[in-house]
Amino acid sequence: MKKFSMKPKVVFEAGSIKYLSTLKKGKAFVITDPFMIKAGFAAKILELLVSNEIEYTLFSDIKPDPPIETVSLGVEQMIKAAPDMLIALGGGSTIDAAKAILMFTQDLSKKSGVPYKRPKFIAIPTTSGTGSEVTSFSVITVNNQKVPLVHLDMLPDVAIIDADLVKTVPPQITADTAMDVLTHAFEAYVSKKASDYSDAMAEKAVKLVFAYIVRAYKNGNDIEARERLHNASCLAGMAFNNAMLGINHSIAHAMGGVFHIPHGRANAILMPHVIAYNANLESETDTVTAARYAELAKILGLPTRSVREGVLSLICAVKILLAETNTPMTLKDLGISKDDFIQKVDALADAALADKCTDTNPRKPNKEEIVKIIMS
Ligand code: NAD
76-93 pLDDT, tens digit per residue, is: 999 999 999 999 999 999
Instruction: Quote the CA–CA distance of 240 and 192 in Å, as a whole number.
Output: 11
Residue 115, in any domain of the structure: yes
**Calculated CA dihedral for residues 140, 143, 145, 149, nearest 10 degrees:** -30
Residue 2, in any domain of the structure: no
280 and 212 together in one domain: yes
- Site to probe by mutation for ligand 1, drawn from 17, 38, 96 as the one with most ligand atoms within 8 Å of Cβ, is 96
Q: Looking at 144, 166, 188, which one is the last position of a domain?
A: 166
295-305: per-residue pLDDT in tens? 999 999 999 99
Give the number of domains in the chain. Answer: 2
Are 370 and 277 in contact, with CB atoms under 8 Å apart?
no
Closest Cα to atom 6 of ligand 1 = 64
248 C-alpha to ligand 1 centroid (Å): 18
**Domain containing 276: what range?**
171-375
Q: Residue 48: exposed, middle, or buried by beta-carbon count in 10 A (0-12, 13-18, 19+)?
A: middle
Mean pLDDT, residues 110-125 taken together: 93
Beta carbons within 8 Å of 312's beta carbon, 6+ residues apart = 281
151 and 299 together in one domain: no
Element (H, E) at 89: strand 85-90
**pLDDT given at position 115:** 85
Instruction: Quote the CA–CA distance of 263 and 224 in Å, as a whole number.
Output: 25
pLDDT band at 286 (very low <50, low <70, confident <90, very high): confident
Phi, psi of 175 (to 5 degrees): -65, -45
Are 279 and 311 in contact, with CB atoms under 8 Å apart?
yes
Residue 3, in any domain of the structure: no
> Residues 196-223, buried b or exposed e (16+ Cβ, 10 A)?
ebbbebbbbbbbbbbebbbbbbeebebe
Q: Is 137 in the pocket of ligand 1 (CB under 6 A)?
A: yes
Q: Looking at 141, 166, 191, which one is the last position of a domain?
A: 166
199 and 217 together in one domain: yes
3-state secondary structure of 140: strand
- Please count the other Cβ atoms lying within 10 Å of the Cβ belonging to residue 376: 12
Nearest ligand 1 atom to alpha carbon 141:
32
**pLDDT given at position 328:** 87
Here the ipTM equals: 0.98
Residue 252, in any domain of the structure: yes
Full-model pTM: 0.95
Q: Is 162 in the pocket of ligand 1 (CB under 6 A)?
A: no
Residue 331 has pLDDT above 80, yes or no: no
pLDDT band at 357 (very low <50, low <70, confident <90, very high): very high
Q: Is 209 in the pocket of ligand 1 (CB under 6 A)?
A: no
Residue 104 has pLDDT above 80, yes or no: yes
- Please count the other Cβ atoms lying within 10 Å of the Cβ belonging to residue 286: 17
Residue 266 has pLDDT above 80, yes or no: yes
**pLDDT given at position 195:** 97
Strands 137-142 and 145-150: antiparallel
Instruction: Quote the CA–CA distance of 356 and 376 in Å, as a whole number.
Output: 23
The 3-class SS string of 107-134 reads HHHHHHCCCCCCCEEEEEECCCCCCHHH
**pLDDT given at position 87:** 98
- Site to probe by mutation for ligand 1, drawn from 31, 45, 121, 127 as the one with most ligand atoms within 8 Å of Cβ, is 127
DSSP 262: -
100 C-alpha to ligand 1 centroid (Å): 15
20 and 108 together in one domain: yes
Q: What is the CATH number of the domain that holds 123?
A: 3.40.50.1970
Q: Looking at 115, 149, 166, which one is the last position of a domain?
A: 166
145 C-alpha to ligand 1 centroid (Å): 17
Are 39 and 168 in contact, with CB atoms under 8 Å apart?
yes
Question: What mean pLDDT value characterizes the chain?
Answer: 95
Element (H, E) at 344: helix 338-354
Q: What is the CATH number of the domain that holds 296?
A: 1.20.1090.10
Q: Is 156 in the pocket of ligand 1 (CB under 6 A)?
A: no
Instruction: Quote the CA–CA distance of 207 and 203 in Å, as a whole number.
Output: 6
Residue 277, in any domain of the structure: yes
125 C-alpha to ligand 1 centroid (Å): 9
75 and 92 together in one domain: yes
Beta carbons within 8 Å of 354's beta carbon, 6+ residues apart = none
106 and 243 together in one domain: no
Residue 4, in any domain of the structure: no
**pLDDT given at position 338:** 81
Instruction: Quote the CA–CA distance of 33 and 90 in Å, as a whole number.
Output: 7
278 and 361 together in one domain: yes
157 and 271 together in one domain: no
Nearest ligand 1 atom to alpha carbon 173:
7
